[in-house]
Amino acid sequence: MGNRRVVVTGLGALTPIGNSVDELWESLKQGKSGAGPITKFDTTNFATKFACELKGFDPETYIDKKDVKRMDGYTHYALATAAMAVKDSEIDLEKVDRERFGVIFGSGIGGMLTFETQVEAYLKGGPKRISPFFVPMMISDIAAGQISIQYGLKGPNYATTSACATSTHAIADAFMIIQRGTADLMVSGGSEAAVTPMAIGGFNAARALSTWNDRQTEASRPFDVDRNGFVMGEGSGTLILEEYEHAKKRGAKIYAEIIGCGLTGDAFHITAPAPEGEGAFRSMREAVRDGGLQPTDIDYINAHGTSTQLNDLNETKAIKKLFGEHAYKLAISSTKSMTGHLLGAAGAIESIASILALKYGIIPPTINLENPDPECDLNYTPKVAVEKEIHYALSNTFGFGGHNSTLLFKKYEG
């Protein structure tokens, strides 16, 4: 028996440039930056004073007030986008087998703010001041658990944690689980709420963040010669994956088909990518192979494109190595130029961007690409969106620790 086909039937997004999928897509087309001054804490002593924060999000729109206080922000975001995606999919939960409906949902960092506030409580008042909800609020699997509880989903249920590749791994796992017949439906994606003192301070200490405090909306500039670090983002993305015949039988709308994934390890360094983008090259190669395609079939790549010196250069080298002359015919863009880097949620948000690019035939731009790095000489769709019919799109994510993951999406022509 061959692998079962897997399609995307629901989407949910909460991002610095829009609190819904529609708002996100409009902002991506318009080249809108989500960057601005950090409002969540006093940045006086911090090297970086800005981030891509959510705007106007109220968790009580989606979660009971009592429960809001018992969850970290990353879980708020996860439950919100899961609610959007389930609603969007128009699934009747009373008519599906919930033992074959699962959740794989990740976070790169988990409840960072909860950890910080509970340490502060301990230092002020000792162990008696620690909340009984501390551990279940903080751990990075709890969003997956809460989504499962919310909808009574009893299929495979776990979290992925692989830094920036987290939610791409979650989607890849969900894809493979449906392919092999273990489940018919999966909620998959990732969430991050890391605009906190320790996260910003830690990434500053690692010299990973941009410090362009006087040019905040221009700071995320993938593939530009002046790039000097990523811009922290926050939010969540959720996809409903569904077995094709199951979706057809219930008359579901289908956004796109997922036909391949590539999963590799650099085995090189805790933060730096492997030289020449060797791990990224293999990740893309395996996704293309898994989908039964040739490199020349690919039309668009949503790049990892973090706006850091090493990542952008090595991803470019990886693309050139795999695609050869076709590399110069590809449309490529980094939507992180607008959303910032959502860490564990990045892959889900960028998958949504890739799916909508396929559906609507529009390539989101890489904003702020003013002075291309001479070594980054591909078509990164600078500054403005471009109309282009595309049939196959790759979405790349590469994480600290050498975790690489690539998803391959196909335009749905049903």
413 within domain boundaries? no
Beta strands in 99-255 (DSSP E): 101-106, 157-158, 185-192, 235-243
Exposure of 87 by Cβ count < 10 A (0-12 exposed, 13-18 middle, 19+ buried)?
exposed
Do 85 and 193 share a domain, yes or no? yes
Do 132 and 73 share a domain, yes or no? yes
Do 343 and 51 contact (CB within 8 A), yes or no?
no
Do 144 and 26 share a domain, yes or no? yes
The mean pLDDT value for 144-165 works out to: 98
Do 133 and 221 share a domain, yes or no? yes
* Residue pLDDT, tens place only, 156-213: 999 999 999 999 999 999 999 999 999 999 999 999 999 999 999 999 999 999 999 9
Q: For residue 212, what is the domain's CATH number?
A: 3.40.47.10
Is the pLDDT at 1 greater than 80, yes or no?
Answer: no
Give CA–CA dist 303/341, Å, rounded. Answer: 12
* Residue pLDDT, tens place only, 279-314: 999 999 999 999 999 999 999 999 999 999 999 999
- Residues labelled catalytic: 164, 304, 341
| pLDDT, the chain, mean | 98
* Residue pLDDT, tens place only, 257-279: 999 999 999 999 999 999 999 99
Do 234 and 308 share a domain, yes or no? no
Do 185 and 293 share a domain, yes or no? no
- Largest Cα–Cα distance in the chain? 64
What is the sign, positive or negative, of the torsion defined by CA atoms of 228, 378, 318, 284? Answer: positive
414 within domain boundaries? no
Do 160 and 49 share a domain, yes or no? yes
- Whole-number pLDDT of residue 414: 83
Domain that holds residue 208: 7-249
Q: Which residues pair with 334 in a beta bridge?
A: none
Do 257 and 400 contact (CB within 8 A), yes or no?
no
Do 241 and 386 share a domain, yes or no? no
DSSP annotation of 274 reads: P
Sheet holding 403-411, edge to edge: 157-158, 101-106, 185-192, 235-243, 6-14, 256-265, 403-411, 392-399, 300-302, 331-333
* Residue pLDDT, tens place only, 377-398: 999 999 999 999 999 999 999 9
373 within domain boundaries? yes
* Residue pLDDT, tens place only, 220-247: 999 999 999 999 999 999 999 999 999 9
Going from the C-alpha of 31 to that of each of 11, 17, 293, 336, 373, the distances in angstroms are 21, 10, 31, 11, 20
Do 80 and 236 contact (CB within 8 A), yes or no?
yes
Pick the last residue of a domain from 197, 215, 249. Answer: 249
223 within domain boundaries? yes
Do 124 and 203 share a domain, yes or no? yes
Give CA–CA dist 316/336, Å, rounded. Answer: 16
* Residue pLDDT, tens place only, 110-131: 999 999 999 999 999 999 999 9
* Residue pLDDT, tens place only, 197-210: 999 999 999 999 99
Strands 403-411 and 256-265: antiparallel
* Residue pLDDT, tens place only, 25-54: 999 999 999 999 999 999 999 999 999 999
Pick the last residue of a domain from 199, 221, 249. Answer: 249
Q: What is the pTM of this model?
A: 0.98
- Whole-number pLDDT of residue 79: 98
Do 204 and 267 share a domain, yes or no? no
254 within domain boundaries? no
Is the pLDDT at 2 greater than 80, yes or no?
Answer: no
255 within domain boundaries? no
DSSP annotation of 336 reads: H
Do 240 and 281 share a domain, yes or no? no
1 within domain boundaries? no
221-238 burial, b at 16+ Cβ within 10 Å, e below that, comes to bbbbeebebbbbbbbbbb
Do 193 and 282 share a domain, yes or no? no
Which residues make Cβ contacts (< 8 Å) with residue 289, sequence separation at least 6? 260, 262
Domain count, the chain: 2
In the block, residue with structure tokens 């002593």: 45
- Whole-number pLDDT of residue 189: 98
231 within domain boundaries? yes
**Residue 368, SS3 per DSSP:** coil
Q: Which of 28, 63, 36, 30 is nearest to 52 (CA)?
A: 36
Alpha helices in 164-300 (DSSP H): 166-180, 197-205, 244-249, 278-290
Percent of the chain with pLDDT over 90: 99
Pick the last residue of a domain from 227, 249, 271. Answer: 249
Q: What angle (nearest 5°) sits at the alpha carbon of residue 165, between those of residues 163 and 168?
A: 140
The mean pLDDT value for 80-109 works out to: 98
